[in-house]
Amino acid sequence: MSELIAEPSTTVAPPKNHGARAWELMYEIFKASKPYVESVASSFELTPQQVYALKGLQRDRPLVMSDLATFLGCDASNVTAIVDKLESRGLVERRSADRDRRVKALLLTPAGQDVLDRINDRMQLPPPAINNLDASDKVTLCEVLGRALDSLNAS
């Protein structure tokens, strides 16, 4: 199958390959889903980034500040403020490691675990664009996006 979408040469738009088109569609869906994401976060009186940080802490192994920065894909300097807010809400606790007191482990408090459980419940319902797909399209999307993400870790 051709990599290019066949289009009459009289069309104004240039021919576009499917990879570029898929990326454009992902961008559109993301933009359209932003109000949904923000409404979910604000229903917990959190920002989307704070929600995502909590999700990073649900792992089996406790994260330290720099791990959370990697998980969030942002600079470590920002994580201080994010964790400050979560800590002031009583959702997260900083604990200095005994072996190296520079390092701070991040632990969910019971209240934090409770909020996270409710967030996870709520997030079982994805934004409308995704939720409107039929079951087989959802499965297909998981498979293809899974391969896309795996291709990054493999290289």
Partner DNA sequence: TATTGTTATACTCTATAACTATA
Partner DNA sequence: TATAGTTATAGAGTATAACAATA
Binding site for its own copies (CB under 8 A): 1, 3, 12, 14, 16-23, 25-26, 28-34, 60, 73, 120, 123-133, 135-142, 144-149, 151-152, 155
Task: Looking at 44-109, list the stretches that DSSP marks H as alpha helix, in order from N- to C-terminal side.
Answer: 48-56, 65-72, 76-88
Q: Which of 78, 102, 104, 79 is nearest to 93 (CA)?
A: 104
Alpha-carbon span 61 to 122, nearest angstrom: 24
Query: 141: number of CA atoms within 13 Å, CB side?
Result: 12
Q: Closest distance between its own copies and the C-beta of residue 139, in Å?
A: 5
Alpha-carbon span 146 to 152, nearest angstrom: 10
Q: How many residues in the chain?
A: 155
Q: Closest distance between DNA and the C-beta of residue 35, in Å?
A: 8
Residue with smaller CB distance to its own copies, 77 or 88: 77
By the rule CB under 7 A, 61 interacts with DNA: no
Residue with smaller CB distance to DNA, 80 or 120: 80
Helix (H) or strand (E) holding 104: strand 104-108
Residue with smaller CB distance to DNA, 77 or 153: 77
Annotate each residue in 72-91 with x if it binds DNA (CB under 7 A) or - if it does not, as one string: xxxxxxxxxxxxx-------
Q: Which residues bind DNA (CB under 7 A)?
A: 47-50, 64-66, 72-84, 94, 99-104
